[in-house]
Amino acid sequence: KDQIELSLDLPEVVERAAGRRLTGSLPCSVLSIAPEPFDPYENLFGAPTGFARLRGARIELSREQRAVADLTLVPTPDTKRDVAIIGQEGQRYRVAWEVEDVIVFGWVGAKDLDLGTPKPEPPFRIGLGDGATLGPCCDHVFMCPDEIPLFAMLDAEHSGTVAMLAPGTRIPVPRVEGDRLRVALSGTSLESGNLFVDKSRVTHCRDLVQR
């Protein structure tokens, strides 16, 4: 049977229990060569029933409700502690914790949570990476199912299309300027302060900063 094996490095604030190897499987149909918008809540967890914050220096987390711990969460003073509650059985809560580019989910005890906290302010967004890295950067981060033309403004003149952003590309928008959205691309050959997309081209796209 056709299959692909993938591996993932855990963030430093997530420790794996000694001698335990975490594995899982998904159908190949969930993989795509072209990046596409993906919301773990919609596809895996269901809508959160509440929010909480991790309490303490070391929190044991298990994959199953009454199993021994598979991971230990060790948030630092600078780590965002907000978690979404996605299940409950008695004094055990199933939570999803976004840390760096990983979503850690499993069961923790009530003693490890400050319950009833308000919904985190944007840019809390599962699947977007650590919300703290967005900070005040962006009013919007769009993800579109189709190609989006990118253009530049040179001496107040429209350059025409300079590139096409592939489907599923995250498009950070630090500022809206009339009918144009200023785009902040980094880590590419297109880094510039004068790159834009037309506002009308993203009306159908998902805004990852908004929940």
The larger pLDDT score, comparing residue 193 to residue 149, is at 149
Considering the chain, what is the average pLDDT of its residues?
A: 78
Q: What would the DSSP string read from start to end of 77-120?
A: TTS--EEEEEEEETTEEEEEEEETTEEEEEEEEGGGEEETPPPP
Residue-wise pLDDT for 72-109, tens only, equals: 999 998 888 999 999 999 999 999 998 877 889 999 99
pLDDT score of 49 more than 80: yes
pLDDT score of 191 more than 80: no
In order of their start, the domains of the chain are 14-121 (2.30.30), 140-207 (2.30.30)
Residue-wise pLDDT for 168-189, tens only, equals: 888 888 888 889 998 877 544 4
Output the pTM of the full model.
0.56
